[in-house]
Chains A and B, each alone.
Chain A
Amino acid sequence: MMEWETVIGLEIHTQLATNSKIFSGASTTYGAAPNTQACAVDLGMPGVLPVLNAEVVRMAAKFGLATHSTVAPRSVFARKNYFYPDLPKGYQISQFELPIVHGGWLDIELEEGVSKRIGITRAHLEEDAGKSLHEDFHGMTGIDLNRAGTPLLEIVSEPDMRSAKEAVAYMKKIHALVRYLGISDGNMQEGSFRCDANVSVRPKGQQELGTRSELKNINSFRFVEQAINYEVERQIMVIEGGGAVVQETRLYDPGKQETRPMRSKEEANDYRYFPDPDLLPVEIDAAFIEAVRAGLPELPDAKKQRFVEQHGLSEYDAAVLTATRELADYYEAAVTASGGQGKLAANWVMGELSGALNRDDCDITNSPVSAQGLGELLQRINDGTVSGKLAKQVFEAMWNGEGSADAVIESKGLKQISDVSAIEGIIDEVLAGSPKQIEQYRAGQGKLLGYFVGQVMKATQGKANPGQVNELLKKKLDG
């Protein structure tokens, strides 16, 4: 049986998080009533002209620098001509021959310690189209142009990915990056981050690429994986069945979990690209690039490395904690508030906190327990005020809004007993009530130590310092 290799390239469309549109002053806020955020320019009124929003240039340059790409000293907007009701001018302003960013790369992690470099062919600026609404209009189509003119950065990868998993890892990496850079909110439900996947298969070992299909407009990591896996299976079946893959555009239907061809007349376009005479070439000098570089935040890879070195984390933990800028920021704030408990903070953020966030479907930016609050709790664990076990109770109470770590420990009486004489008193009581067990222990059943510890902890409702209990018990029993 033939062994097949999958080849994938992604085109990711990222909506840039500007306040106003790429070529007009209209707002980009999502969710407004239809056509309330479209000005004369967005409507393509006769006589209107586009004016480039300088912020999008800065954002694209940030992306370029963060992906080891060249930020072009001169890039050119071009018109992509086609007719569609939600494309007001009958052309989309995009970049064609001279994009603003080209020739970069990113490393993706496949498993602990294994990474792979994915080439970034180019990233170009363009305007989004509006939306056609086919429901609720009784056989007619409604047009909402609020989205028309929203700035997009289209990021085109090299065909470097060899599996759906790699594609998802790359997409996640880009997603985290644009959010780190603050150039996109990455909101996939609202369509701020979506991708087209170019998929082909070839016999393993063959150099030449197979015929590809383009899977359009996929807006979740899960769907990307499903769509690619389905498409790979389909293509292999076609070829093994003696057929040939047709180069075409296909849509993924998440409901049916299959891809199907888009109507062919939609792709029969000759876009007749030419430089947009209404816009000057975008010229970027070295000083601008340096200013952008100076303003770059710490990027995920650098942050991960720093977490390993500075906080003593494993590669894996550091990768988890730097997956989003918000999570990393929370973690670092908690470390600071805890007085530098890097490892402990990692365990708590990845354990209790993540669990609670998931359970209550809550975002880290709205966590009921603040990083400061968690840090204070970790301090109390570290200084022995509360045991690690009881700290979980404290955390739950904090999560439910019952106050700070100190307040909860106080009000619930969860303070750890570390006073030697107090613990000794309780030990004595326990031992006095267990003569039989003492005999057995001394006869060689060392594992009974656990029984005594349990009794002491029970008697103190878990508040006794377990280390001290162990130590004092041993002394009394063995001594």
Chain B
Amino acid sequence: MHRKSLVELAADLRAGACSSEELTRASLERIGRLDGRLNSFITVTEQQALDAARAADARLKAGDAGPLTGIPFAHKDIFCTRGVKTSCGSRMLDNFPAPYDATVTRKLLDAGAVMIGKTNMDEFAMGSSNETSFYGPVKNPWDEMRVPGGSSGGSAAAVAARLVPVSTGTDTGGSIRQPAALCGITGIKPTYGRVSRYGMIAFASSLDQGGSFACSAEDAAIMLGAMAGFDERDSTSVDRPVDDYQATLNAPLQGLKIGLPKEYFGEGLDAAVGSAVETALDEYRKLGAELVEISLPNAQLAVPAYYVVAPAECSSNLSRFDGVRFGYRAADPKDLADLYTRSRGEGFGAEVKRRILIGAYALSAGYYDAYYLKAQQIRRLIREDFLKAFEQVDVIMGPTAPSTAFKLGEKADDPVSMYLSDIYTIAANLAGLPAMSIPAGFVEGLPVGLHLIGNYFAEGRLLNAGHQYQQVTDWHRQIPQGFE
């Protein structure tokens, strides 16, 4: 059952070949048996899942079913789920059952999807290896000595290990695409404003965007289609109809213009990863696409600008975790200042504290212009680079990450090296563009991701390009050893 795609499972459910309860039990069984090795779940919501599965079976029987009805999914623990612990990977929220459902949660549950559990993640989505989680690191199913990427490491590993067919993620600087690449699956981050952020615990509000993981572009399209849409509770969500992503999957790629930014193929890129990407690009050429070298002149400014904007916003967003109303509270505070400093000091991990400090510094009097304002100016330049590029090409491609999955602990003490693992993904967040990673081969048994960036609201185009590639390759069908 776990070898089947979401599309196949949905067909089986409709045909009565299996029930949602069976799928759900199968998923729970695999998690019980295999997740001890991966640590991809923080919470497994077994009873709730079985109840939801039976309700989905009733809907299927009544003929009131959509493409996700009865399909198990794993939900990143950054999305609020009413009555279910929503930890955001932090000790700060270890005691926090959310009092309401995020819009994305609500949409998926209303579609009849069955939430199996909440997945592990870097604390408050700050990390690229899933090592900053209060709940311990997630292991990469392709090599349990290695990281799955982050911050949505649990969601990526759970799909890669076929514990669930699909999962949700969020992406602030690459947190869907980089783990998708390192785990050998498909992950898409849509245009900023396409998926509601209401109930998605904020890291950096102007960059955060929810998206989906799946084994194929087609499955990711179905999942994203259910998550996307305008939400009046999120002022930054865009009031524009959601495209039918499935309808355009089969469009031929003949004449598609693919831009290859020369800045993404230079120094810092692992040679073997580079050649895997070249091979993938050859496939596109064979599919009729035209490859064009382009330039994104300000590409090298993306990481520094990001590490001002994201920490600045996070320093403010995380102020609400003060031990007063919810979350972790230090024992026996002697006064208000003590309550604040110890609750936050004990509740947050090192990486979160590092970013809060960087952000507070960047926003402080006398430094605001030099850091925050300057970073915003760079953001505009980066956006202009892309807009200019998209006058020439339809899709931009390159490597998702500069290397394959690295070893646990390898970069844990070197934040800058860790930050550079998002060097190719961050620009799409700064510009608000949709982007996706699809499996494009292996280097020494570890997956390589191909990165696709599209113009605003061109999710359909990206998914189409991913799907067509997946019709002529089978990288996405590979299952890690021990999880077959």
Contacts and interface: CB of A to CB of B under 8 A. Distances in A.
B206 A46 contact: no
Contacts of B327: 46
B43 to A, nearest CB: 16
A88 B319 CA distance: 9
A43 interface: yes
Interface string A251-293: 0000000000000000000101110011110000000000000
Contact of A45 (B88, B100, B233, B235): B100
A330 B383 CA distance: 60
B456 to A, nearest CB: 16
A21 interface: no
B198 interface: yes
Contact of B235 (A40, A44, A278): A278
Nearest to A39: B100
Contact of B324 (A85, A270, A277): A85
Given A45-B100, A51-B235, A280-B235, A81 B324 contact: no
Best-surrounded residue of B79, B232, B233 (most CB of chain A within 10 A): B233
Interface in B206-249: 206, 232-236
B313 interface: yes
A83 interface: yes
B99 interface: yes
A50 interface: yes
B96 interface: yes
B232 A48 contact: no
A40 B80 CA distance: 12
B198 A48 contact: yes
A47 B201 contact: yes
The DSSP consensus for interface residues of chain A is loop
A57 interface: no
A79 interface: yes
Given A270-B364, A274-B368, A46 B80 contact: yes
B279 to A, nearest CB: 40
B336 interface: yes
B4 to A, nearest CB: 33
Contacts of A89: 319-320
B336 A46 contact: no
B33 interface: no
Contacts of B199: 47-48
A308 interface: no
A272 B201 contact: no
Contact of B99 (A40, A49, A272, A280): A40
Interface in B82-106: 86, 88, 93, 96, 98-100, 102
Interface in A25-82: 40, 43-52, 79, 81
Interface residues of A, number: 28
Given A90-B320, A280-B236, A270 B365 contact: yes
Contact of A79 (B99, B316, B322, B365): B316
B200 A45 contact: no
A272 B88 CA distance: 25
A270 B79 CA distance: 32
A272 B364 contact: yes
B322 A46 contact: no
A266 to B, nearest CB: 11
A47 B198 contact: yes
Contact of A272 (B233, B318, B360): B360
A143 interface: yes
A105 interface: no
Most central of B80, B86, B201, B316 by chain A CB within 10 Å = B316
17 contacts: A45-B326, A46-B93, A47-B80, A47-B197, A47-B199, A51-B235, A81-B316, A85-B322, A85-B324, A90-B316, A90-B320, A270-B364, A272-B368, A273-B368, A277-B204, A278-B235, A280-B235
Interface of B: 79-80, 86, 88, 93, 96, 98-100, 102, 197-202, 204-206, 232-236, 312-313, 315-316, 318-322, 324-327, 336, 340, 360, 363-365, 368, 372
Interface of A: 40, 43-52, 79, 81, 83, 85, 88-91, 143, 270, 272-274, 277-280
Top 6 closest pairs, chain A to chain B, by CB? A90-B319, A277-B206, A272-B363, A277-B205, A47-B199, A44-B320
